[in-house]
Amino acid sequence: MATERIERTAQLRERVWAAKRRGLRVGCVPTMGALHAAHTAMFDRARAACDLLVATIFVNPLQFDRQDDLRSYPRDIQADLIVCDRHGVDLAFAPAAAEMYPRPPVITAQIEGLADGLCGASRPGHFCGVATVVLKLLNCVQPDIAYFGEKDYQQLVIVRRLVEDACLPVEIASVETVREPDGLALSSRNVLLSRAEREAAPAMFGALQRAQEAVQSGQREAERVVALARQVLERQPLLRLDYLEVVDLDTLEPVRRIDGPVRIAIAAFAGSTRLIDNIHAAPLKAR
């Protein structure tokens, strides 16, 4: 059966409640559209585990700190629906902004600590917008399980804490970052890169790999790990570094000495396009 497009929350809930009354497991993949292989990896994972699969397609204005970024964000709902259909999505919830925000919100999700660093430091208010819309979407869909990609690791950590603190009855599942053959993390923003910028962008993953190798080889000083990764980036003058940090897996606080598993996160500009990526790293256990 073809993917059904739904624009109203009430209609969506009717479909979901009907499925739950039959004892079906409901999965949800929240997206902002411009679907690519990273999204379809989440669709495929969810399809294998759930009886009813809902994809949300909504470009959330609350999480954009720059209006030009919001305006330029790629949108093609018809192409997105074709992708949904090919990957077994049952319902595509694609509300208008007026459906999600009939009035300017006076109650939003505020975040302590987890949004202070990394992307939150350079994008004030971004994660409050993300948390607010995720809370609204999870309440609209009311899934049993929702899928989020590890490429947006800070977002993943915040969503998990949001669900915990708000006592939402939903499991959050993470899906590994999907990459191009040259290592560039798939992102809807990649289409905005010029040819030269696209050729330079994989250096971000190269820097992360260099950092990961350093940790696995026994380097414990985060400052030294970051310095080694920066050497890779210095070969690509088209990339302007925003941040490169080693952080705690759960608190996202910067780590000075690496004594266990960490996340190494990076953000950089290629022209006016901001790209992010991250990688897991852990010291190898002594034999």
**d(Cα 44, Cα 250) in Å, to the nearest integer?**
27
Q: How far is CA 163 from the centre of its chain?
A: 16
Q: What distance in Å separates the CA atoms of residue 138 and residue 164, rounded to the nearest whole number?
A: 13
Residue 144 to residue 134: CA distance in whole angstroms: 14
List all residues 6 or more positions away from 58 whose beta carbon is below 8 Å from its beta carbon: 30, 31, 32, 33, 93, 94, 95, 100, 133, 137
Which 3-state string (H, E, C) describes 232-244? HHCCCCCEEEEEE
Distance CA 268, CA 207 (A): 11
Query: Is 39 an annotated catalytic residue?
Result: yes
Beta-strand relationship, 145-149 and 26-31 = parallel
Q: Which residues is 31 bridged to in the sheet?
A: 57
Q: Which residue has the tokens 């947006």?
A: 152
> DSSP letter at 47?
H
Query: Which residue out of 36, 39, 87, 126 is catalytically annotated?
Result: 39
DSSP E strand boundaries for 176-272: 239-247, 262-270
Tokens of 13: 């809930």
Rounded distance, CA 55 to CA 272, Å?
A: 29
CA nearest to 277, candidates 194, 210, 193, 183: 183
Tell me 218's DSSP state: T
| Residue positions annotated with a catalytic role | 39
